[in-house]
Structure 1
Amino acid sequence: MTTSITGSTLAYLIPGDPVRNVRLPRLFNAVFERFGIDAVLLPVQVPLRDFAVFFKSAFLARNVRGMVIAPPHKPLVVDLLDGCGLFGRVAGSVNVVRRTENNELEGDLFDGEGLVGALDHFNIPFRGKRVLILGAGVSAAAIGVALAEGGTVDGAEHIAFYDTSAGKAAGVAAKLDAFFDADVAVADSNAPEGYDLVINATPLGLDENDALPVDVARMDRHAALFDILLRNQPTPLVRAARARGLNAQAGFEMLIQQMPHYLGYFGHADAAQGVRDDADFLREIVYPPAMHAEIRQPLRYRSPSVA
């Protein structure tokens, strides 16, 4: 965190309710300190009923340059913006807002790009592959956009959404179908057979006693799994998949891979490139101590001898 806050310090805010466990202030402030940026990111607890008023009022302060939006406020922001990126429009939600040079407010959603960066980091193939996304919420929609954006050449060959609410999954699939020339469908069940990659974008796993969102014993031997959750990692799902020898990864890297996008969006291009070049100092902050061994030697490959 910057050691001397002055009248020229740029302020970024992360509104949420609650904000006790938000991780991004530590990441942003570590970046600001490392790259000599006179800025600070502060968490602010804002009740849902007060958010719209707070959002507009906060930007009356000229040194407030942007926000990172925490739950439950992400879906409320779109209607308060002057402009919104494609990811945010499709998902109907944003997690980052910036003030432009014209004093307009723009927002977007980087969950999907963070997911793609994490998959590449762990050498998990998704281009030209069949992907099952469990869940149909904001993050699932953003992930779908990222996987569909490149078409069947640079993106996934087939994307299926499964949610316990079939109508919710159908709504996300319809939005993607309207924007992209991609093979998008609604899965009838969470059966993982025939998929190369399974992504858990549900809250199942936050509690140790939650049922597994998918039966990893039924996953194909070559398949990989990514669980976007940040708490309780490695979750029972990740542990079960790894016990089978599958390439199964926790959601921390998805957060790390969003950081260059946040920084670039806020105009800190040099810092964004610096994090792309070396983000291990951020991984040391985000990954729990029990998983620090995975930072420099990530678990990338399954054991071919395990059934």
Structure 2
Amino acid sequence: MFPSIVGSTSLYLLPGDPVTNVRLPRMFNAVFERCGIDAVMAPVQVGRRDLAVFVKAAFLARNVRGMVIAPPHKPSLVDLLDGCGLFGRVAGSANVVRRIENGELEGDLFDGEGLIGALDRYNIPFRGKRVLILGAGVSAAAIGVALAEGGTVNGAEHIAFYDVAAGKAAGVAAKLDAFFDATTVAVDSNDPAGYDLVVNATSLGLKPEDPLPVDVARMDSHAALFDILLRGQPTPIVRAARERGLNAQAGFEMLIQQMPHYLDFFGHKDAANALRHDANFLRELIYPASMAGEIHAPLRYHSASVA
């Protein structure tokens, strides 16, 4: 049941282009209704060239409390902020923004935090491990930041980026290497041999004719794979890895695990804590039928700052 909207209702917006397949408004509105929060989230289609004007104008409305940013706007948002968290500054993008009391806009990036929570839920080891990240775009950079932020004890020991665009992986790796203790490098091959975890942060798998991002046969027998894609799951790479008996998971849980961070950021602490204890109603809302058996798996919520 959609929540009633009255004069006191807080409004959250999700600008993107396109917004036809976004899942977060359904998720936020389900949380608002379940927790009795007088708020609603709506998707809004905003072109790239209009983002700056839209964000500044929308926050003139006093009941607009915040925004979650959809592609392709995450990198563009950073330049519109008066302040940004560490993850957003290092990755050069942000996926959430709020107006604080003095009227300034501050943002952060929770893509990487979502991945950390998802890896823990699926019992995929990454602390002190070697990780290959396929892609060097916004999501890949955020994932790299989250994996490196915990240091070599609570984070990955070695993080390698591979991207087909020459120099792109090197740029991301150099930026992370300057901030964190983990060894962060760019590699010129997508060979997964020797890595404990492979993360697909590319778009390969969205189309039936796409090649596999890596040769699954080359993955070590103990290695795991995480594919951040949402559409078309299980993708060919996930299916191929599972056929080998590897722990291979899809990106839905990454979205679920970001939700408590979003809610904390927007000041809904009780709702955030409730989700940390039970988010199965959200899994039932967005997981496809093919993943129904994973909904009630034991959840072990983890903060990236805790061992």
For the structure 1 residues 100 and 2, does the alpha-carbon distance in structure 2 shift closer, same or farther, using more than 3 Å as the test? farther
Q: Distance in 2 between matches of 1:54 and 1:294?
A: 39
Name the TM-score, length of structure 2 as normaliser.
0.95
Q: Distance in 2 between matches of 1:182 and 1:225?
A: 20
1:2 deviates by: 5.1
1:48 maps to 48
1:134 maps to 134
Structure 2, unaligned stretches of length 5 or more?
A: 299-307
1:267 maps to 267
Q: Distance in 2 between matches of 1:139 and 1:48?
A: 18
Paired AA for residue 242 in structure 1: R
1:248 maps to 248
Paired AA for residue 3 in structure 1: P
Q: Which is further off, 91-100 or 267-276?
A: 91-100
Give per-residue Cα distances to partners, 1:28-76, cap 9 Å, x unaligned. 0000000000000000111122111111000000100100001111111
Paired AA for residue 4 in structure 1: S
Give per-residue Cα distances to partners, 1:61-120, cap 9 Å, x unaligned. 010010000111111111111101111111111110011122211011100000000000
1:16 maps to 16
Q: Does 1:80 align with 2:58?
A: no
Q: Distance in 2 between matches of 1:297 and 1:180?
A: 33
Checking the alignment, whether the CA contact within 8 Å between 1:97 and 1:108 is kept in structure 2 is: yes
Checking the alignment, whether the CA contact within 8 Å between 1:2 and 1:39 is kept in structure 2 is: no
Q: Which is further off, 36-45 or 176-185?
A: 176-185
Q: Distance in 2 between matches of 1:199 and 1:19?
A: 25
Q: Distance in 1 between matches of 2:107 and 2:142?
A: 14
Checking the alignment, whether the CA contact within 8 Å between 2:3 and 2:40 is kept in structure 1 is: no
1:156 maps to 156
State the aligned residue count: 298
Q: Distance in 2 between matches of 1:290 and 1:173?
A: 35
SS in 2 for 1:40: strand
Runs (4+) of structure 1 moved beyond 6 Å? none
SS in 1 for 2:140: helix
Q: Distance in 2 between matches of 1:255 and 1:3?
A: 22
List aligned pairs for 1:290-301, cutoff 5 A. Answer: 290-297=290-297
Q: Distance in 2 between matches of 1:141 and 1:176?
A: 8
SS in 2 for 1:107: strand
SS in 1 for 2:167: helix
1:71 maps to 71
Q: Distance in 2 between matches of 1:271 and 1:145?
A: 26
1:12 deviates by: 0.2
Name the TM-score, length of structure 1 as normaliser.
0.95
2:109 maps to 109
Give per-residue Cα distances to partners, 1:177-229, cap 9 Å, x unaligned. 11112211111200011000000000000112100000000100000000000
Give per-residue Cα distances to partners, 1:217-244, cap 9 Å, x unaligned. 0100000000000111000000000000
